[in-house]
Amino acid sequence: MTGVPVAAPATTPKRGGGRRVRPSRIGFLLVTIGLPLVLYIGLVIWPFIQAIYYSLTDWGGFTSTMNFIGLDNYRYIFEDDIFKSAVRNNIILAIIVPLLTVVLSFMLATMVTVGGSNTGSVRGLKGSNAYRIVSFFPYTIPAIVIGVIWAQIYDPSKGMLNGVLTKLPFGLGEHFESFAWLGKVSTAMPASIFVIIWGFIGFYMVLFVAAIKSIPSEMYDAARIDGAGRLRTMWSVTLPMVRETVQTAYIYLGVVALDAFVYMAALNPTGGPSNTTYTISQDLYKTAFTEGHFGRASAMGVVLAVLTLAFAGIVFGVNRLVAGREK
């Protein structure tokens, strides 16, 4: 028939290699993936590669010349008793600080969110809102200020801690007359660990509170019906539901413990008695800026980075293993 328009045949979109990528999609990928990747490579990966290279040289830090010496810096630091003491102290911090901080903050978060009465709606202890604010306060103080404050508190002659403990009855206070908390091998590290935990426990409690608040209340109601007590509910309901948050907190705290430069430098700038509180970061700073051996200091930094990555890998592995057993 003439005069009747004929519809054009429908065309199927090209598939596979024939599909064209829209310019808007390319721009989206460049902005969301390309730019962050370039920044990450330039600001994280490349400096790390440079540090590895510098660790293989005798660079003094303020000269343009450097000689390649291979693994001599690594041989030197692993034969140095002071550096080995620093590595041991960092490992102690990485074991104790994350463990105690996570356990204490998680228990406190459980108390202020679901630790209230077993009847009625799920709620925390009375006055829990005020306690969250008070416990978060130490985290708002800079780390160096926390270190200086507690160094004054621990002062053997005019510190507040000894001033309170010397008032103990039955002659107990006599043991704390001019007691050097940061000057004795037996107490220097525990006192320093307490300060780090004190500074972080409030923040991670608030972090766990936010995670626990996202758990449906029906799960706690079901646990009550089954007759589960508070400890059983915390272990079987709360902890499995916030495991990813616990993992993240543990890794961050491990990084803090493996560094700990600010706290240790403020509490014991010289490393404490017999280098009891001396850390890798303190030895690195001294080697680079006091002794002028930036190549050797870079080797220390590489060792610290490897320890940090190993710590994160262990935490990820343990978390995956535990989750797999539960499944």
How far, in Å, CA of 255 to CA of 189, rounded?
18
Per-residue pLDDT of the chain (327 residues; tens, 9 = 90+): 455 555 555 555 554 555 665 767 777 777 788 888 899 999 989 999 999 999 999 998 888 788 999 999 999 999 999 999 999 999 999 999 999 999 999 998 888 887 666 665 666 667 667 777 777 788 888 899 999 999 999 999 888 999 999 888 877 788 888 899 999 999 999 999 999 999 999 899 989 988 998 888 888 888 878 777 778 888 888 888 999 999 999 999 999 999 899 999 999 998 989 999 999 999 999 999 999 999 999 999 999 999 999 999 999 998 888 776 666
CATH superfamily of 81-326: MetI-like (1.10.3720.10)
Distances (CA, A) of 172 to 160, 165, 169, 179: 17, 8, 6, 13
CB 287 within 8 A of CB 80: no
The angle, 0 to 180 degrees and rounded to 10, between the axes of the packed helices 143-153 and 185-213 is 140
Q: What is the pLDDT of residues 219-259, one digit of tens each?
A: 888 887 877 777 888 888 888 899 999 999 999 999 999 98
How far, in Å, CA of 313 to CA of 316, rounded?
5
Question: Measured at the alpha carbon of residue 244, what is the angle toward residues 243 and 247, in degrees to the nearest 5?
Answer: 85
How far, in Å, CA of 245 to CA of 150, rounded?
29
